[in-house]
Chains A and B, each alone.
Chain A
Amino acid sequence: GQNIDQPTEMTATEGAIVQINCTYQTSGFNGLFWYQQHAGEAPTFLSYNVLDGLEEKGRFSSFLSRSKGYSYLLLKELQMKDSASYLCAVRRGSTLGRLYFGRGTQLTVWP
């Protein structure tokens, strides 16, 4: 099976920077995804890494090291609306939507 681990909860204050880590063990790795999910809502796509390195998209960046089975999501200039669950997911093989998810990290942003 797949082991995908991420912290259960994190807290931070508005304007700060937070890094959410994710480690995984899998065969046939073909990409790592980060999704944001507000309570009662659909997961929404944030980022995708398939090669090692950093992908930056506005206030959000994601990093991948395939040799270490490690990724992180970096959120800058935190806002209250960033309070949500952040889901790390791994894709194996070529099927676009066949993902293995971690349990999610519940981020709370305080004023």
Chain B
Amino acid sequence: NAGVMQNPRHLVRRRGQEARLRCSPMKGHSHVYWYRQLPEEGLKFMVYLQKENIIDESGMPKERFSAEFPKEGPSILRIQQVVRGDSAAYFCASSPPGGDTEAFFGQGTRLTVV
């Protein structure tokens, strides 16, 4: 049973370009969470999605950031017109629809904006 898969592991973008980060949850998991980790900072929640629904986007910046989790395929975190301050590690986590267990994290995508 493969874990949470994120790609790419490393992504370099020039200022003003778009970044697309992908996350495939663990098999049987239908809930996806995106977190951002800035250097020397803790993980910060961004958005919580279920298939075709955004449940909680209270941690998402109001502009340039969007997320989706389509019926088929991975969850996508999209950052438009990237700026240097977007450079960070972006982690995805997934959990099953019910029960009392932990969320499992992927290995992250390290975005560098040059």
How close is A111's CB to chain B, nearest CB, in angstroms? 27
Q: Does B69 contact A (CB under 8 A)?
A: no
- Chain A: how many interface residues by the 8 Å CB criterion? 22
On whether the beta carbons of A45 and B56 are closer than 8 Å, the reply is: no
The one of A48, A99, A103 in contact with B41, judged by C-beta atoms closer than 8 angstroms, is A103
On whether the beta carbons of A96 and B106 are closer than 8 Å, the reply is: no
On whether the beta carbons of A97 and B42 are closer than 8 Å, the reply is: no
CA A43 to CA B95, docked complex, whole Å: 14
On whether the beta carbons of B91 and A97 are closer than 8 Å, the reply is: no
How close is B32's CB to chain A, nearest CB, in angstroms? 8
On whether the beta carbons of A98 and B56 are closer than 8 Å, the reply is: yes
Who on chain B is nearest to A8 by CB?
B40
CA A99 to CA B101, docked complex, whole Å: 13
Knowing A41-B107, A42-B106, A42-B107 touch, does A100 contact B45 (C-beta < 8 A)? yes
CA A35 to CA B103, docked complex, whole Å: 11
How close is A42's CB to chain B, nearest CB, in angstroms? 4
The one of A40, A44, A97, A103 in contact with B40, judged by C-beta atoms closer than 8 angstroms, is A103
How close is B46's CB to chain A, nearest CB, in angstroms? 11
Q: Does B72 contact A (CB under 8 A)?
A: no
Q: A43-B105, A95-B55, A96-B101 are in contact. List 11 more A-B contacts (CB 8 A).
A: A33-B102, A42-B3, A42-B106, A44-B105, A48-B102, A96-B31, A96-B102, A99-B45, A101-B42, A101-B43, A101-B44
